[in-house]
Amino acid sequence: LKKRLQALEKKAKIQHPAVKFLPEGKRKRILVTGGAGFVGSHLVDKLMIQGHELIVVDNFFTGRKRNVEHWLTHENFELIHHDVVEPLYIEVDQIYHLACPASPPHYMFNPIKTIKTSSIGTLNMLGLAKRVDARLLLASTSEIYGDPEEHPQNENYWGHVNPIGPRACYDEGKRVAETMCYAYKKQEGVDVRVARIFNTYGPRMHMEDGRVVSNFILQALQNLDITIYGGGKQTRSFQYVDDLVDGLIGLMNSEITSPVNIGNPDEHTIEEFATIIKDMVGTNSKIVHHPATEDDPQRRKPDIEKAFKGFGWKPVMPLKEGM
Ligand code: NAD
Ligand code: UDP
Ligand code: UDP
């Protein structure tokens, strides 16, 4: 164990030599739920490097301890194995509430659990925020717009969601999570922020994540067929995870309490993604078509003017460089 801890400590120092020192008054105690997941772990890295004290709460459904293992021995870091569906009593200044599976195969695996995570889990985090007077940022999603009838999507659009389809556990779960944030704000004065996150990719995506970027890259690397679901004319707009993390921190520390889109407006068809990845990897993979998935949104592109005007955020990583 000692050896292992020493190795981890060494790794933490190598990977993160520049953890800043923040004086007591500026150092915040920050809870990141879902902090062992893909997005959460990158957020944790950035906040740790800024010098804050981090508490990560995760039930490891889709997250992995190894995503944060480089911090395990750091005095500013604590990892709690906990399910947000159960109440949590700790003391913090800010809460980034990310706990929730994000990939369609993951959130459809146990839809009832997904609903409980977004509803009861968010209720508990709002109850915690209320008790300790913390600011809470909800990781909401572009999925709340459903299969959109407006394009691009701005924050005033109410969405077009099938409430009983296979994606509903996630979409409606996030919609009620947003509703709860504003009920707690209005009734209890809880200080909330809502980030509507658009498709994101980057290092530490789960290998069996099932989302399109990781699927296509893995397929290309193994010379397997690249599987397009449906005609491939459906579009998505992908942002690199570091851009998202900057947007989340920017929003948390802004004064904008209404929902804000965080995404990259660079829109491509899924067919184009397949070709871009195939060409970059230089693979012999064939591009093949599988049946379309039910209720698959056909177009998605964020209007990000609000984030830019509100706190000067816009994504900077070009698609090909990020890939
Ligand atoms: P992820 O699956 O990698 O991370 C989610 C994390 O939450 C995992 O570590 C998982 O173990 C944890 N978790 C799940 N249920 C939990 C529970 N009941 N209690 C405690 N922990 C739990 O997904 P991600 O891509 O990192 O997404 C993070 C957040 O961002 C999610 O809320 C997701 O809805 C949102 N989001 C992500 C994207 C994207 O493209 N990545 C897009 C829109 C919204
Ligand atoms: N809660 C929590 N941690 C806290 C405070 C509350 O997990 O520090 C949970 C609590 O168990 C409750 C939920 O948050 O289920 C909502 O709390 P609130 O105080 O709003 O509701 P109440 O307890 O009055 O029903
Ligand atoms: N998709 C695909 N092949 C795959 C995985 C996904 O064609 O192997 C398509 C999927 O049908 C959707 C788009 O890629 O149109 C994005 O899917 P993903 O699951 O990544 O995210 P979401 O649907 O939640 O935006």
| pLDDT, tens digit (0-9, with 9 covering 90-100), for 73-125 | 999 999 999 999 999 999 999 999 999 999 999 999 999 999 999 999 999 99
**d(CA 287, ligand 3 centre) in Å:** 14
Residue 5: which pLDDT band, with cuts at 50, 70 and 90? low
**d(CA 118, ligand 2 centre) in Å:** 15
Testing ligand 3's pocket by substitution, the residue of 198, 211, 239 carrying the most ligand atoms inside 8 A of its CB is 211
**141 Cβ inside 6 Å of ligand 3:** no
Residue 303: which pLDDT band, with cuts at 50, 70 and 90? very high
> What is the per-residue pLDDT for 94?
98
Place of tokens 């999570």: 177
* Atom 20 in ligand 2: residue holding the nearest Cα: 127
- Out of 96, 107, 170, 240, which one is annotated catalytic? 170
Q: What percent of the chain has pLDDT over 90?
A: 90
**234 Cβ inside 6 Å of ligand 3:** yes
**54 Cβ inside 6 Å of ligand 2:** no
Which contacts (CB < 8 Å, 24+ apart) does range 118-123 have? Answer: 118/170, 118/173, 118/174, 118/176, 118/177, 119/173, 119/176, 119/177, 119/180, 120/84, 120/85, 121/33, 121/83, 121/84, 121/85, 121/97, 122/84, 122/97, 122/176, 122/177, 122/180, 122/181, 123/180
Q: How many other CB atoms are there within 10 angstroms of residue 76's CB atom?
A: 17
**219 Cβ inside 6 Å of ligand 3:** no
Q: Which two tokens stand for residue 180?
A: 């709860």
Testing ligand 2's pocket by substitution, the residue of 123, 133, 187 carrying the most ligand atoms inside 8 A of its CB is 123
> What is the per-residue pLDDT for 18?
80
Q: Is 89 a catalytic residue?
A: no
Residue 178 has pLDDT above 70, yes or no: yes
**194 Cβ inside 6 Å of ligand 3:** no
ipTM of the complex: 0.97
Which neighbouring-strand residues pair with 193? 137
pLDDT by residue (tens digit) across 112-121? 999 999 999 9
**d(CA 80, ligand 1 centre) in Å:** 16
pLDDT by residue (tens digit) across 240-294? 999 999 999 999 999 999 999 999 999 999 999 999 999 999 999 999 999 999 9
SS3 for 63?
coil
Asked if residue 302 lies in contact with residue 197, where contact means CB atoms within 8 angstroms, the answer is: no
Burial (0-12, 13-18, 19+ Cβ within 10 Å), 294: exposed
